[in-house]
A and B are shown apart, each in its own frame.
Chain A
């Protein structure tokens, strides 16, 4: 079974621009979660989508948004990029949504975003 895939793998953007990242979950998985990893803050949960609905959200500003399509693929958008948005963005897929057990996540390889 193919793993979680993310595109693009690397991205360089300029401050003020917007960016869209894509994640395809493992076949049959309906939950997709997004995370941001930075050296200073570590790994932080952004949001989770399940069956095209955002079910949970972390403590990030409204510039960070996402959506999920009927085939469970998900996109994450960051508008008005800031230098501090430079990070590794990881998505994870799961068979169940968080709150159901067992809730086991599988991660993609990540998208490394650099904002200049």
Chain B
């Protein structure tokens, strides 16, 4: 099956800093989503991005399907960005282990 690896596993940022989260996958896919899980457990849909680049406010994402990776950029981070970021892809929606982000005030 598809293997999904996310890096880094943990990230601590000062408020206002920028960051890049990475998702590597082992096989070609026709669907990929990024989610943010807040401290209450709610998974929030950030991007559906099987290929190309998208932006939404301070967040943007790029997927290079031919090289089997996707990147999530967070600019000017805020404390409310804290939580776990997951990429998920494939026919049976394989989730990576996530990147746990903590933004300090």
- Total interface residues in chain B, CB < 8 Å: 21
Structural contact, A33 and B97, CB atoms closer than 8 A: no
Which chain B residues border A107 with CB–CB below 8 Å?
35, 42-45
Q: Which of A38-56 contact B (CB under 8 A)?
A: 42-45, 56
- Total interface residues in chain A, CB < 8 Å: 24
Give the interface SS of chain A, mostly helix, strand, loop or mixed.
strand
Structural contact, A106 and B41, CB atoms closer than 8 A: no
One of A11-19, A61-69, A70-78, A97-105 at the interface: A97-105
Looking across the interface, which residue of chain B has its beta carbon closest to that of A59? B92
Q: Which of A3-40 contact B (CB under 8 A)?
A: 33, 35, 37
Structural contact, B93 and A45, CB atoms closer than 8 A: yes
Which B residues form the contact surface with A (CB < 8 A)? 30-31, 33, 35, 40-45, 48, 50, 86, 88, 91-95, 97-98
Please list 29 pairs of residues, one from A and one from B, whose beta carbons are closer than 8 Å in the complex, sorted by A's number. Answer: A33-B93, A35-B93, A37-B41, A43-B95, A45-B92, A56-B91, A56-B92, A58-B92, A88-B41, A90-B41, A90-B43, A98-B92, A98-B93, A101-B31, A102-B31, A102-B48, A102-B50, A103-B31, A104-B31, A104-B33, A104-B48, A105-B45, A106-B45, A107-B42, A107-B45, A109-B41, A109-B42, A110-B41, A110-B42
- Besides A101-B31, A104-B48, A109-B42, 8 more A-B contacts (Cβ < 8 Å) are A37-B41, A44-B95, A92-B43, A98-B92, A98-B93, A106-B45, A107-B43, A112-B41
Sorted nearest first, the 4 A-B pairs with minimum C-beta distance are: A107-B43, A43-B95, A104-B48, A103-B31
